[in-house]
Structure 1
Amino acid sequence: MRAGDRRLRRLPPRPVTRRGAGGILAGAAVLTALVTAVALVGLWHLTQGTSDVGLTDLLRYLAGRRSDARAVTVTEVLLASRLPRLAAGIAVGIALGVAGAMLQSVSRNALASPDTLAVTAGSYFALSAVAAFGLAVPLWASGAVAFVGGLLAAGVVLAIAGGAGSSTTRLILAGSAVAMALQAGTSMLLILFEAETTGLYAWGSGSLTQLNLEASLRALPVIGLGLLAALLLSRRLDVLSLGDDAASTLGIPVTSTRVVVVLCAVLLTAVSVTVAGPMAFVGLGAPVLARLLGGLVGVVHRHHLLIPVSGLLGALIVLLADVGLRALLTPQGAAAIPTGIPTALLGAVMIVVLARRLRDSGPAAQPPQARIGLRSLRRFLLVLAVLGALVAAVVLLGLLAGSLWLRTGDILLWLRGGAPELIARALTDRLPRVGAAVLAGAALALAGTVVQTTVRNPLAEPGLLGITAGAGLGAATVVTTLDGGRLLMIVCAVLVGVATFALIALLAWRRGLAPERFVLVGIGTGYGMSALTTFLLLSANPFDTPTILTWLSGTTYGRSLGDVVPVLIALVLITPLLLGMHRELDLLAIDEDTPRVLGVRLERTRLAVMGVAAVLASISVVAVGVVGFVGLVAPHLARALVGGRHLRTIPAAMLLGGGLVGLADALGRSLIAPAQIPAGLMVAVLGAPYFVWLLWRSRA
């Protein structure tokens, strides 16, 4: 394990041995203060709502003065709206806080949480699938479905990352990629089964809206059971923080303890998702704050206090996020905005702050092309010819496929101007879509190639590093608030995408741009940008939600030749530039010292290359929306086919990326015609298994 990972994973610290009356009093004081804080914020929470029932009315109600005309109204407001919302907030916060504390402790990883391990994404996908297929299940069965989905997702992440003790960067990349794939699957269900999943998009961002107290009351016994199990395991968790060898020496069954802890954490997460949807990053923020509190009150580091403190802090975070949102936007304005959006922003900040603590770890253990041997020129030319032929076949398939299947002769007639009107209209619509898909795929592949080289991480790509999320935020801003045209969307997407890269670089800079720190800061920033995009989406006209959601899922629908031209211009200008820098890129992929020795200005070159990648990714967002995995899959396949030298990798990766997105677009338009699956979701379906295999293969 490298030094950087050891620094960031120094959580939890060694168990505190302080005992006696002083420690007991300090722990009791902390718990009392947190319970009081939750109670006070809860009272404030009860005064917030869309009705005109205020603090005075509530005080009269609590004092027993219920004989006036408003007593019935206050009773209805409390029992039908505000108390259920308050109970859900407390229950979800406690469940996620305890789950996050357990996951961080068992993995000894400061960034482990139900979100970064894809537990919430798995639970949400499972519940969405049940709703999409019209399966009527009782509340307890919904919890079981969410538990199974979350458990499977966590199992996949831990398996492909190499276990709970894997490095921070690897674990977070694995969790982010699996979560991205599950979110793509969920988005596909929401789009294909729009009527059956009405309201699930807002709920999927974490909503405390409740019809009554039933869901919270049913969840309380399960949460209590999970909390009790966590407290019973607290001594084992204290000992596990010393390391596996020390724990085994002291008689702790390490493997079985980890299994039980993960099961308890997944159970608590599943319950919270069932009650309020995926409430983002409460399970990350609450334990981190608890451990920071432990720096002031040492006894809090012991798990018999750390676990309840994390739960209470989780409840406090959820309630403060909810009342803060209502205070900022007014209750009426905040009615459509889920509570999970401000908690997601909090989680993004937490990831960035923790990533900035990452110590420089020196050269990567293995650059992207370290395992790829050199290939002969003859093989390179042969591979390039085959890939070119495959891309041409994909273009032809894209022109022929759709709700109306055409023949090659129809294309010839259309080119001569003699095609029937129906065929001419179909080809006029398909040509820009095919062009946008192929060119955007090539741009994403090129961006992914240089991103992986620059950060020397074969698992990085623009989508995982937040660049495309930033560009998506810029485009969504134009669509939802500025009501601008295509040109303004292009300008805003590029500007915000590049600004996102600049922000990531600024936050990650500390005596240089450490690749691992850059990756983690990028992931955190991407979460924040996605939360802001969701906020804009839900604040806009609700009738536009399916259209915008489809665009954010990556689609070529409605594209014109004007959308293709910017991507084409960018590729024509940038591709020769990067090919001319192939020597610098080859050196960047080796380590930190070799480029400097050979005269490469490392930081300036790295920033310039990443800036160019940000421009490419941003322009591709305008053409096809937000598409992931292309910048991950295409460079890997290219290196496997033609070797690691960028003079050969770049053209091969561009052809592979263009072919992948073009094929995904053609399949999405034809598999369930006349309905369509967005190209970005098809790419995720095709790319996610490859990514899982790649992580699995590279565990050693």
Structure 2
Amino acid sequence: MTTTTSTPTPGASALRGSASRPGAGAALRRPGVAAALALLVATAAVGVLAVVDLTLGSADVGAGDLLAAVLGRGGEADVAVLVASRLPRVLAALLVGVALGAAGAVLQSVARNPLASPDTLAVNAGGYVAVVAVAAVGLTLPVALRGSVAFLGGLAAAALVLALSRAGASGPTRLVLAGAAVALALDSAATVMLLLYAQETTGLFAWGAGNVAQSGTGTVARVAPVVVVALAAAMLLGRRLDLLALGDDAASVLGVDVRRLRVVSVLVAVVLSAAAVTVAGPVGFVGLGAPVVARLLARRVPGLSRHVLLVPFAGLVGCIVVLAADVLLRTLLPDAARMTVPTGVVTTVFGASVLIWAARRLRDDVSRTTAAAGARPRTSRRAAVTVAVLAAAVVAAGVAGLLLGDRLLLTGDVVNWLRDSAGRTVTFVLDQRSPRVVAALLAGAALGLAGALVQTLVRNPLADPGLLGITGGAGIGAVVTIALVPSAGVWAVTGSAAVGAVVAFGTLLALCGRSRGADRLVLMGVGLNAVTAGLITVIVVVTSPWNTTMALTWLSGSTYGRTLEQSAPVAVALLVALPLAWAAHRRLDLVAIDEDTPRVLGVRVGAERNRALVLAALLAATAVSAVGVVGFVGLVAPHMARRLVGAAHRWSLPAAALTGALLVSVADTIGRTVIAPAQLPVGLVTALVGAPYFVWLLSRTARGARV
């Protein structure tokens, strides 16, 4: 598919280098002393950070001891620490940084999109899931073959994302959202394999967050030649990439085969990303943050925007990011945590912060879309019948949840259990199963209603409590309380989750300011969600380094081991929020239109938004405290509800709650049944189903269809 020739991507010009600005041609012809000096300064910064990183570690070996070891005057223990532990770690950080930085620079130039990267194109996620899949089947591959597997997985993921986003031509938001959806689905698939094949995939959970710790220099030594060759190839493509920045037509007139250049460039970028994944796992957002910083600096240095210099410069900035993250971890954390917290967590927080910053500078391209767009009006009678059918379906799903699982039961067994006359085995099964069914139904209803309120508040059908960081903030609050106060009760955990949800959503709205169009809000929400996921991983790994099940539970969502007491806060939240939200349905109908209409009709938009925000945060927080972070329900349920009963909140709010309960209950039953006696967390099932739905919704909005 041929992309737009010379029309700039909305908002992208704010982040591009000087190659896309007037007068850039003269700058490109004058690399001069300034560009060389910039490269030397970046190289010096890399060297300083590398030396500092070498001096840090859990062993009592300082800079003087390491210097003596280098000069051949140190003891055997000092030499062993240098050669076996610290030097391989630093070399891995250097290799990963230069590979991801260069890969991100190439991808951003090919897509002419400042937010393209190995993360937003799901290259890292594709490589990671491919490596996990190979490990899950019990194969132990040499480094070369493992790198090839990562390359194929990353290439397939990137091809899918580029196809969904029309190679980035439909704007930065579509690219990031398509990449986020594909990455979430792939990460869910990887998590399923981590749970089902725990023995075969031991150690891959922390590695999945990106960890530069190495047991020797063997892997780095084997992968380094691949990175060198790929980096050289990227630099050889530099002249053509310079011309591509002028537009497809101009580049073609100047003799560039645009289609072939894009294919070759993407292949080179995927090779670099796969090499990084092979060495250290998917180190997050370096490929986004480093090239953005490099391009911003290159705008001030004549000639540095030439790709032959920009690509290695972005690689050096990538080295600085990875080394600085590693130094930060090894400096601030206690000795026990230094070896367990992945470096990729810090780089993810950094890169996600860059994404949030970049999103604030982008111009919305779908800001006219509202949450109610495309919802056809329904008569009250038809809507009432639909809601009644949904309620019946929820009851049926609850009954099916009680009957299905690793042991199949009959309805008579349930009746006898309710009468307290069932046998010991049936009683045991239903005593364990019924709290899970209740938790799934209540949490699903809460997430569905929270999603409907959020989409109304931001007038965005792509909004979701998970994508906007609300459930992530609630997860941080809950995990902090559980980790620091193991004896904390259900209500304390719920309260902490509520505070985290409110803080997360309030932070997002504050960062957006008055401009809360679809593009800006969702992009910033994706970044905030990545930050919260990284922080949850840090908290879990630091407080319970060997308890990966706890991390997977909160990050994936699970009803395993739930009790009725843990579902009580969700029931209370629904009893409070649903009547209050329904009572305000007329005002919410007006708020969903625009900012001016409700004000003209006397509705206090700010107060209404604050009340709905509190209700949405309360619902999301109680759901997270009960079942963990379950994704996509808050997106899918309101959208399906509007298509069934129309946009009027009188009917769409209860329909969203019922649809959410139905989705989570069915997903929980499937997770407990399809691979019984093993189980899949409910959040993974909803992600595997919700991600394709999200991609479909994204493709419809990209075509301008009514959603």
Identical aligned residues as a percent: 49
Paired position in structure 1 for 2:53: 45
Q: Distance in 1 between matches of 2:569 and 2:408?
A: 29
Paired position in structure 1 for 2:37: 29
SS of residue paired to 1:18: helix
Report the alpha carbon displacement of residue 282 of structure 1 after superposing the two structures with TM: 0.8
SS of residue paired to 2:216: coil
Q: Distance in 1 between matches of 2:28 and 2:404?
A: 75
1:391 matched to 2:394: yes
Paired position in structure 2 for 1:419: 422
The one-letter amino acid of 2:68's match is R
Judging changes above 3 Å, is the alpha-carbon distance between structure 1 residues 235 and 257 closer, same or farther for their aligned structure 2 residues?
same
Paired position in structure 1 for 2:638: 635
Paired position in structure 1 for 2:67: 59
Q: Distance in 1 between matches of 2:612 and 2:150?
A: 42
1:365 matched to 2:368: yes
Which of 565, 585, 589 is equivalent to 2:588?
A: 585
Which of 489, 495, 501 is equivalent to 2:499?
A: 495
Report the alpha carbon displacement of residue 356 of structure 1 after superposing the two structures with TM: 2.3
Q: Distance in 1 between matches of 2:98 and 2:561?
A: 46
Paired position in structure 2 for 1:506: 510
Give CA-to-partner distance per residue, 1:438-486, whole Å, 9 cap, x none: 1111111111122223223222211111110111111111222222232
Report the alpha carbon displacement of residue 561 of structure 1 after superposing the two structures with TM: 1.5
The one-letter amino acid of 2:492's match is L
Which of 334, 341, 345 is equivalent to 2:338?
A: 334
Which of 113, 118, 143 is equivalent to 1:114?
A: 118
Superposed, 1:597-616 pairs within 5 Å as 597-616=600-619
Report the alpha carbon displacement of residue 362 of structure 1 after superposing the two structures with TM: 8.6
The one-letter amino acid of 2:145's match is A
Which of 194, 213, 231 is equivalent to 1:190?
A: 194
Paired position in structure 1 for 2:653: 650
Report the alpha carbon displacement of residue 577 of structure 1 after superposing the two structures with TM: 2.0
Give CA-to-partner distance per residue, 1:36-80, whole Å, 9 cap, x none: 2212221222222222222112222333435xxx1x223322221
Q: How many residues are matched?
A: 693
Paired position in structure 2 for 1:461: 464
1:325 matched to 2:329: yes
Q: Distance in 1 between matches of 2:30 and 2:407?
A: 78
Contact 1:160 1:699 in 2 (8 A): no
SS of residue paired to 2:304: helix
Report the alpha carbon displacement of residue 163 of structure 1 after superposing the two structures with TM: 2.5
RMSD: 2.2
Which of 124, 127, 140 is equivalent to 1:123?
A: 127
Q: Distance in 1 between matches of 2:450 and 2:137?
A: 38
Superposed, 1:199-278 pairs within 5 Å as 199-278=203-282
Stretch deviating more after TM superposition (429-438 or 165-174): 165-174
Give CA-to-partner distance per residue, 1:542-593, whole Å, 9 cap, x none: 4432244224311111212212221111112111222233233333333444
1:677 matched to 2:685: no
Report the alpha carbon displacement of residue 196 of structure 1 after superposing the two structures with TM: 1.0
Give CA-to-partner distance per residue, 1:233-262, whole Å, 9 cap, x none: 212222222333433444433332222222
Report the alpha carbon displacement of residue 22 of structure 1 after superposing the two structures with TM: 6.2
Judging changes above 3 Å, is the alpha-carbon distance between structure 1 residues 449 and 251 closer, same or farther for their aligned structure 2 residues?
farther
1:76 matched to 2:80: yes
Report the alpha carbon displacement of residue 166 of structure 1 after superposing the two structures with TM: 2.0
Judging changes above 3 Å, is the alpha-carbon distance between structure 1 residues 154 and 595 closer, same or farther for their aligned structure 2 residues?
farther
Report the alpha carbon displacement of residue 513 of structure 1 after superposing the two structures with TM: 4.0
1:660 matched to 2:663: yes
Q: Distance in 1 between matches of 2:607 and 2:308?
A: 49
1:475 matched to 2:483: no
1:157 matched to 2:161: yes
1:440 matched to 2:443: yes
Report the alpha carbon displacement of residue 19 of structure 1 after superposing the two structures with TM: 5.3
Report the alpha carbon displacement of residue 24 of structure 1 after superposing the two structures with TM: 1.9
Judging changes above 3 Å, is the alpha-carbon distance between structure 1 residues 380 and 434 closer, same or farther for their aligned structure 2 residues?
same
1:17 matched to 2:25: yes
SS of residue paired to 1:669: helix
Contact 2:402 2:434 in 1 (8 A): yes
Unaligned runs of 5+ in 1: none
Paired position in structure 1 for 2:432: 429
Judging changes above 3 Å, is the alpha-carbon distance between structure 1 residues 652 and 20 closer, same or farther for their aligned structure 2 residues?
closer
Judging changes above 3 Å, is the alpha-carbon distance between structure 1 residues 603 and 252 closer, same or farther for their aligned structure 2 residues?
farther
Judging changes above 3 Å, is the alpha-carbon distance between structure 1 residues 523 and 638 closer, same or farther for their aligned structure 2 residues?
same
Q: Distance in 2 between matches of 1:94 and 1:319?
A: 11
Judging changes above 3 Å, is the alpha-carbon distance between structure 1 residues 373 and 239 closer, same or farther for their aligned structure 2 residues?
same
Paired position in structure 2 for 1:93: 97
The one-letter amino acid of 2:377's match is L
Q: Distance in 1 between matches of 2:365 and 2:352?
A: 25
Contact 2:446 2:620 in 1 (8 A): yes
Q: Distance in 1 between matches of 2:369 and 2:282?
A: 36
Stretch deviating more after TM superposition (273-282 or 260-269): 260-269
Unaligned runs of 5+ in 2: none
Judging changes above 3 Å, is the alpha-carbon distance between structure 1 residues 5 and 432 closer, same or farther for their aligned structure 2 residues?
farther
Q: Distance in 2 between matches of 1:684 and 1:590?
A: 30
1:532 matched to 2:540: no
Q: Distance in 2 between matches of 1:434 and 1:281?
A: 38
Contact 2:632 2:690 in 1 (8 A): yes
Give CA-to-partner distance per residue, 1:72-105, whole Å, 9 cap, x none: 2233222211221111110000000001111222
Give CA-to-partner distance per residue, 1:349-391, whole Å, 9 cap, x none: 21222222235x4972332333232223343233223222221
1:553 matched to 2:556: yes
SS of residue paired to 2:575: helix
Judging changes above 3 Å, is the alpha-carbon distance between structure 1 residues 255 and 451 closer, same or farther for their aligned structure 2 residues?
farther
Q: Distance in 1 between matches of 2:663 and 2:677?
A: 22
Give CA-to-partner distance per residue, 1:659-681, whole Å, 9 cap, x none: 11001111211222222211111
Judging changes above 3 Å, is the alpha-carbon distance between structure 1 residues 118 and 604 closer, same or farther for their aligned structure 2 residues?
farther
Give CA-to-partner distance per residue, 1:480-531, whole Å, 9 cap, x none: 222223222111111111111111112221x454443232222212111111
Paired position in structure 2 for 1:518: 521
Stretch deviating more after TM superposition (35-44 or 241-250): 241-250
SS of residue paired to 1:441: helix
Q: Distance in 2 between matches of 1:5 and 1:516?
A: 13
Give CA-to-partner distance per residue, 1:671-697, whole Å, 9 cap, x none: 222222111111112222222222233
Paired position in structure 2 for 1:571: 574
Judging changes above 3 Å, is the alpha-carbon distance between structure 1 residues 662 and 321 closer, same or farther for their aligned structure 2 residues?
same
1:353 matched to 2:353: no
Contact 2:441 2:662 in 1 (8 A): yes
Which of 146, 149, 152 is equivalent to 2:150?
A: 146
